Amino acid sequence: MIYFDNASTTSVCDAAYEAAKLMLTKYYANPSSLHNFGLEAENKTEEAKSIIASSIGASPDELIFTSGGTEANNTAVFGITQAYRRKGNKVITLPTEHPSVLECFKQLKERGFDVLYAPIDDKGNIIINEFEKMIDDDVIFVSIMSVNNEIGLIQNTDKIGKLIKDKNPETIFHVDNVQGFGKHRLCLKYIDLMSMSAHKIHGAKGCGALYIKKGTKLKSLIFGGHQQGSVRPGTENTPGICAMGAACREAYKNIDENLNKVKQVRDTLYDGLLGLDGVFVNGDNKNSSPYILSLSFKGIKGEVLLHSLEQYGIYASTGSACSLKAKKRSSVIDFLDKSRADSTVRFSFSAENNTEQADYCAQQIKKIVPVLRQYKRR
């Protein structure tokens, strides 16, 4: 099996599996319990929190754990806008964000917020000079993704964050770093909140985290106990948290090595298709994460090519797994170039992939595509 759908989810690494197993079988007490058994469980979760915080350049008390990236994004968007609404009514995002941000912004509009979408070019890059004009004293919140989950485009969050703070230091800047976490280094200097997810870096599903810079006010969306400073109450998912800590340690320990390896895999697949007519790269080929390669194949439905590749044991995707079951799914490709939307396949990689797999995939695509195009003409 060749698994090229790592932007949807990754396999659980051995270190994460062992960490989760330990919490499920040995340190399974409730970390809020006052007895020593509970204290041992709490210590393990605090150790995982320290690993993650250290990896991203934060303090442990600046992290809360969530059920994943979607909850982290929702908490950031609604928690901040509720806390800061008296200071202004404008919020800004990009039209190509993940559904867990875009749907939140739709809700904000229904609640009376002035929702603005920053302009982007035909590759998805934010048009920085136009965006700068949008920042004024009424803008309380900006949310921008670091690595686009569909096309892999990298936004310059450092430059964007500095611009925001120079124009209005009171504006809160949130970065959805679900696809960049553990894969690309990110400076937190101008970032107030940052979303992360475990299962994109070989941790377990159902666990994520939100970085909240000290001094940033956040209204809780969940009410109950007083865990995690009452910001996100509820008994902590200790197996998921400790697995996330273990996966995070592995990811950042090998971050440069993994990036180089994945780049070779991505380049092998891309180079292997250069001789095939009617293949287009979606997004900015020079400013994208090597972990994601979005290609459109002229004259072929992406879903048909996807299932054809399955016959050869190759698994990819047509886009964001979070949108595929929606009746009317949001698509970044649809926004950038509607003519390519139905013919797109997203290949996404991890350090577990290799160039031999990429070469094999390219060879099969070159065999399949002419046949599918000929079949369509008939």
Catalytic residue numbers read 322
User: Residue 294 in 3-state DSSP?
Assistant: strand
How far apart CA 116 and CA 107 sit, in angstroms, is: 13
Residue 209 is encoded by which pair of tokens?
Answer: 């985290």
Q: How far is CA 101 from the centre of its chain?
A: 11
Residue 252: which H helix or E strand, with range?
helix 238-253
Query: Looking at the DSSP assignment, which residues form a beta bridge with residue 253?
Result: none
DSSP letter assigned to residue 344: E
Listed residue (253, 255, 249, 250) closest to 53, CA to CA: 249
Listed residue (211, 215, 167, 220) closest to 191, CA to CA: 211
Residue 302: which H helix or E strand, with range?
helix 302-310
How far apart CA 102 and CA 108 sit, in angstroms, is: 10
